[in-house]
Each structure stands twice: as structure tokens, then as C-alpha cells.
Amino acid sequence: MLEAATKLGPSGAAFCEAVMADRPHPEQGFRSCLGIVGLASFWVAQRRRTIGVRRALGATRMNILQYFQTENFLLATIGIVVGMLLAYGINLFLMTHYELPRLPWFYMPVGAVALWLIGQLAVLGPALRAAQGPPVVATRSV
């Protein structure tokens, strides 16, 4: 494998060694979680008035929570599908051109489930904050 990776140059060989190593990378999941929390907090701040209007019109806290959870699930699903297709395509390219091994079959479904869980847990805090505010405070102009 290393011989094939050296065709990519010194940085390519190091990259392939890091990617193909059989060790977990928990820091990647943590970084993903922080990014999702940041985006969800931004979405909540941007939609403060809309949330207040929905609450004033009768939406429950559970409706607001479900709205953000569903939106995040749909966005995560689109990203996961695109990412899995790209990963499969890149793996095929690396297998044919650089004789690297096939990506193990369980990496993609396990990664997809992990990303869905991380995404739903990461958006839970900002969604709960959005659901807890009273409608009067949310509809005031800032």
C-alpha cells in the first residue's frame, strides 16, 4: 500500500497512511458535533421572530423542537448521501490507479448512523433553547 501511495508524493503518502490506518479518530466526531452546534445556534438566532410567531399562533414547544430536529435530519441525510457517493467514487479511483485496498463495507453504514446520531444530539441543545422562549420575547424587535 505504501508503495502505491508514494506515487502521490510525500504528502500523499502521509495522507494515505493516516486515512487507511486502522485506528479510530474520535476528534473528527467532536469537531463535527461542534460545527453542527454552531450552525444550529446560528439558525435559531436567525429565526427568532419566526419561532415567536409560530408559538403565538399555537405551536407547542414540542412542535418547535420537532421542526429543528427534522430539518437537521434532512440536511444531514443529504450530506451523508453525497459524502458516501464521493467516498465510494474516490475509493474506486484509488483502487484502480494506486492499487489501494477496497474500503471495508461496514465503514459507510456505521459512519452514516454515527453522523445521524451526532447531528441529532448536537442540534438538541439549540432546539430546546429555541422552544423554551416565550413568544412575546421572541417577537420583540431587537
pLDDT digits over 34-54, tens only? 887 788 788 777 888 888 888
44 or 17: which carries more pLDDT confidence? 44
Region 23-31: mean pLDDT is 70
pTM above 0.85, yes or no: no
What are the phi and psi torsion angles at 131 (to 5°)? -75, -20
Helices (H) and strands (E) in the chain, counts: 7, 0
Domains of the chain, by residue range, sit at 27-139
pLDDT of residue 34: 82
Region 66-74: mean pLDDT is 91
Answer whether residue 101 shows pLDDT above 60. yes
Distance between CA atoms of residues 88 and 96, nearest Å: 12
pLDDT digits over 72-99, tens only? 899 889 999 999 999 999 999 999 998 8
Answer whether residue 14 shows pLDDT above 70. no
Answer whether residue 58 shows pLDDT above 60. yes
Q: Residue 40 burial (CB < 10 Å; 0-12/13-18/19+)?
A: buried
